[in-house]
Structure 1
Amino acid sequence: MSGDQPISKPAHKAYGITNIKTYVPLILDLPTRNYEPWSTLFKAHCIAYGVLDYIDDMYDPPNQAPTNTEWLELDSMVTLWLFGSISQNLITSAHSKQANAIQIWLNIHSIFHDDQEATAMQYETELRNIQMGELNVHAYCDKVKKLADLLEGIGEKVKHRNLILYALNGLSPKFESVAKILRHRKPIPPFSEMRTTLSVEETRLASSAFRLSSHTNHSSSHSFYSSRRLWFVKLRKRLEL
């Protein structure tokens, strides 16, 4: 009908995102070495909002970018998402003049994966020589797993047996008895089971230390009051003389 109004195209759902940090709650930075979880979250977000082709050249090669207005707007939006979820230092490194979203994405990937062999050797050395120090079991196991994940992220998956042995070898001496048992388990336990076993032992050790401290304090208190009572008895006898 001539009087009908043209049906307007619904706005792309990506336009509804006002704060990328709500959906990708990680700030990518070199010191934290969190590229793998960050990139996984960012890609999942792009898939959910229908803009994966703006960062994945399998869908849209960077040298064949469309020029229509909506594409340019969405590409700029994804670029803003990228810059909004990385550190200021990385923005400077990843930025290039007139770069679109996929070029920024590839620049970020290159920053973390260039010189991959040297990076893999660094991570593997850290994992082999890892030490628990003053960390608790939870923090220590997270540190071990993070290094293993970093290696897997650059194609250097750590054998399960080696991962468990590296973790056990770096434990504090107080865990030696339970570490010895875990080392000789056949088959070698899963990482999650090792973590649980060590956490139980940590709780037991803390409980034992608390009981010992309470007993020592009680003994000291009893000795103090016994000595004080004896002093009063001696004083009273002197006064009676």
Structure 2
Amino acid sequence: MEKEKPANNSPPHIASTSSPQNTSTDLISINATAQLPLKLTHLNYPSWRAQFNALLFGYDLMGFVDGSKSCPPSTIMNDGKPTPNPDFALWVRQDQLLLHAIIASTSENIMSFIASAKTSREAWQKLAHLYANKSRSRVMSLKDRLSSLSRGTKSVSEYLQLIKTTADELAIVDSPLDDIDLVIYTLNGLGPEFKEISAAMKAPENPITFEELYDKLIDYENFLKKEEMSHDATVLTANFTRRSNGQGHTAKKCYKLHPPSEPMVNFTSSNRLAAQD
């Protein structure tokens, strides 16, 4: 039997184990580098899982990780005698290709948690248990994290990404936030620079979704940056003008504070009289 080779391009490598017409015996090898560019870290499980789910649904492979496509028996009866089941061998090969894709799409510090997994489903469940624990303490921990998040020195985009990531983790553990709660959490952590827009967004007559809030906050951040640049330019111009008007006019040289001495006056008058003679 031909040895399975990994794919080198974006599309999966499909190797037929029998006739080209029998598509049920095709093996799909996922190129993790090209098709799963987002590696799993301890911060991005929701995004990573969404990326992987789309690929599994697209290639009709979700049954391997959710258990709906269970492993067939290793042998079947043929003329009353047990013989190797070709479907078993095919299932094992496809499952191992999926297990490889899962391992290859995780960061090195997470890989150790699934290194002992024998099937793709086992690896999938280990990750779900690690990051999608549905316990009450997990929900409380995530909500506490959300309530304590603040923008600080982060950009609006970075701050909103942290908010959204935490909200996604809550959704995974069956405790999703509605838009009102998400908007309130976001506005509370913006800081004093955004107090005007925060007050406007909290007004009951102005309901807003998180996506709409994202756009408005980005626009407001750009407005604040322009205001700051304009203020800096005004201060710079004022300082330059003040220095230019007073150039060479220091306290030591000020004739109002230090008028010419009397000898200097007499000397000037004597010279003027001498010139007249």
Aligned counterparts of 1:202 and 1:113: Cα–Cα separation in 2: 34
1:217 to 203, 212, 236: 236
SS across alignment from 1:204 = helix
Q: Which runs of 5+ in 2 are unaligned?
A: 1-16, 75-84, 255-259, 261-267, 269-277
Q: How does 1:1-241 map to 2 (within 5 A)?
A: 8-10=18-20, 12=26, 14-15=28-29, 17=30, 19-30=31-42, 32=43, 34-60=44-70, 68-96=88-116, 99-114=118-133, 116-228=135-247, 230=249
The more displaced of 75-84 and 47-56 is 47-56
The structure that is helix-richer by fraction is 1
Q: CA RMSD in A?
A: 2.9
The more displaced of 42-51 and 207-216 is 42-51
| Aligned-residue offset at 1:149 | 1.0
AA at the equivalent of 2:59: Y
| Aligned-residue offset at 1:87 | 2.2
SS across alignment from 1:180 = helix
Q: Which runs of 5+ in 1 are unaligned?
A: 1-6
SS across alignment from 2:154 = coil
Aligned counterparts of 1:130 and 1:8: Cα–Cα separation in 2: 56
Alpha-carbon deviations, 1:182-209, whole Å to 9, x = none?
Answer: 1114252111222222222212211111
Aligned counterparts of 1:25 and 1:114: Cα–Cα separation in 2: 25
| Aligned-residue offset at 1:43 | 2.2
Aligned counterparts of 1:192 and 1:170: Cα–Cα separation in 2: 17
Aligned counterparts of 1:104 and 1:130: Cα–Cα separation in 2: 32
AA at the equivalent of 1:87: S
Alpha-carbon deviations, 1:54-87, whole Å to 9, x = none?
Answer: 2121232x69687633222211111110110112
- State the number of aligned residues: 227
What is the TM-score of this pair, normalised by structure 1? 0.82
What is the TM-score of this pair, normalised by structure 2? 0.72
Alpha-carbon deviations, 1:87-141, whole Å to 9, x = none?
Answer: 22322222336x1221221122112234632221111001112211011211111
SS across alignment from 1:147 = helix
- Aligned residues with identical type, % of pairs: 20
Q: Cα–Cα, structure 1 residues 47 and 64, in superposed 2: closer, same or farther, change >3 Å?
A: farther
Q: Cα–Cα, structure 1 residues 59 and 95, in superposed 2: closer, same or farther, change >3 Å?
A: same
Higher relative contact order, structure no. (Cα contacts within 8 Å, ≥ 6 residues apart): 1
